């Protein structure tokens, strides 16, 4: 289930966000995608998941061309994602959020359907796994930021993705929860899920990644294991602007 992009380009007016990005994320790994602000990481996620369309280039998943597929088709192919600014329904309970995550169309009817089909147990299972089962009946807006991020991830996992894209999972999260997120990613990876993680917290990236790809100005400038990336001159240059 390799996720690959070939020569992907995306410009917003005069701003070139992706400038011929060719990159390959192999299955079974915890991959990280790092790079300075504005280097195109979120745009890459948006192109991969069909939220925006690349101007040119090709994206494949498990050998299948997904470049022009709709988001739901890409999700069905096995690619799930979270968002930098966490997407949950604030006035819905945690449990309903997880149930709704796999039924984006027609929320109310979809929820009834989910309950009929007995998916509640599975949703509760994910809440338990992520350590927020005690919040099942609490509205998302009354949960902490970190808990909401875990809730969003529970919703993504409800779709049983083979590959999970996480956009800044550590952003705004307290240190205790940060450890939990790191441990969870490693556990879920040990069970066979592939991850691609966009993250600015280098301690977390270095601790949990098998493979790191570094973007600068819309394309990869280096890749390798944490031990190599930590000391790569081009990476230090891109971050420090030297």
Ligand X SMILES: Nc1ncnc2c1ncn2[C@@H]1O[C@H](COP(=O)(O)OP(=O)(O)OP(=O)(O)O)[C@@H](O)[C@H]1O
Q: Which is nearer to ligand X, 43 or 97 (CB)?
A: 43
Label residue 55 left, alpha or beta by phi (over 0 means left) and psi (-120 to 50 means alpha): alpha
Question: CB 204 → ligand X: shortest distance, Å?
Answer: 15
- The 13-42 site mask, x for binding ligand X (CB under 6 A), equals --x-x-----------------x-xxxxxx
Cβ proximity to ligand X, 41 vs 193, nearer residue: 41
Q: How many residues bind ligand X (CB under 6 A)?
A: 11
x/- string (CB under 6 A) for ligand X, residues 52-91? ----------------------------------------
**Contact code string over 172-191 relative to ligand X, x by CB under 6 A:** --------------------
Least Å distance, CB 149 to ligand X, is: 16
Provide the edge-to-edge strand list for the sheet that holds 56-61. Answer: 15-25, 3-12, 56-61, 64-65
Which DSSP category does 138 fall into? S
Q: Which is nearer to ligand X, 37 or 231 (CB)?
A: 37
Dist CA 69 CA 50 (whole Å): 6
Nearer to ligand X, 208 or 238 (CB): 238
Q: Smallest gap, in angstroms, from Cβ of residue 200 to ligand X?
A: 6
CB closer to ligand X out of 43 and 209: 43
Closest contact distance (angstroms) between CB of 38 and ligand X is: 4
Residue nearer to ligand X on the CB measure, 160 or 203: 203
Question: 181: which 2 tokens?
Answer: 């997120």
What residues contact residue 7 under an 8 Å CB cut-off, 6+ apart?
A: 20, 21, 22, 56, 57, 58
Q: E-strand spans in the chain?
A: 3-12, 15-25, 30-34, 56-61, 64-65, 79-81, 163-167, 194-198, 211-216, 219-224
Closest approach of ligand X to the CB of residue 46, in Å: 7
Say how far apart CA 233 and CA 242 lie, in whole Å. 10
Report yes or no: 102 and 95 within 8 Å, Cβ to Cβ.
Answer: no
- Give the shortest CB-42-to-ligand X separation in angstroms: 3
Q: Which listed residue (5, 31, 43, 194) binds ligand X by CB under 6 A?
A: 43
Q: 150 or 198: whose CB is closer to ligand X?
A: 198
Q: How many CB atoms lie within 10 A of CB 154?
A: 26
Contact between 221 and 238 under an 8 Å Cβ cutoff? The reply is yes
Task: Report the distance separating Cα 88 and Cα 151, nearest Å.
Answer: 8
Binding interface with ligand X (CB under 6 A): 12, 15, 17, 35, 37-43
């Amino acid at each position: 289930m390799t996720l690959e992009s070939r020569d992907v380009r995306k410009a917003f007016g005069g701003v070139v966000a992706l400038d011929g990005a060719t990159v390959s994320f192999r299955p079974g790994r915890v991959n990280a995608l790092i790079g300075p602000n504005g280097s195109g990481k979120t745009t890459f996620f948006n192109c991969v998941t069909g939220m925006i369309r690349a101007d040119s280039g090709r994206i494949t998943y498990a050998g299948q061309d997904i470049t022009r597929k709709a988001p739901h088709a890409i999700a069905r192919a096995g690619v799930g994602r979270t968002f930098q600014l966490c997407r949950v329904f604030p006035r819905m309970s945690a449990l309903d959020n997880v149930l709704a995550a796999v039924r984006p169309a027609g929320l109310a009817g979809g929820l009834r359907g989910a309950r009929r089909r007995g998916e509640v147990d599975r949703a509760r299972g994910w809440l338990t796994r992520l350590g927020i089962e005690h919040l099942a009946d609490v509205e998302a807006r009354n949960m902490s930021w970190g808990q909401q991020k875990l809730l969003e991830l529970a919703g993504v996992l409800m779709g049983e993705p083979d590959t999970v894209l996480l956009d800044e999972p550590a952003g705004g999260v307290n240190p205790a929860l940060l450890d939990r997120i790191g441990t969870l990613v490693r556990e879920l990876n040990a069970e066979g899920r592939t991850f691609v993680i966009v993250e600015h917290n280098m301690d977390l990236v270095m601790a949990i990644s098998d493979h790191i790809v570094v973007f600068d100005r819309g394309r990869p400038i280096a890749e390798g294991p944490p031990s190599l990336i930590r000391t790569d001159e081009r990476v230090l240059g891109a971050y420090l602007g030297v």
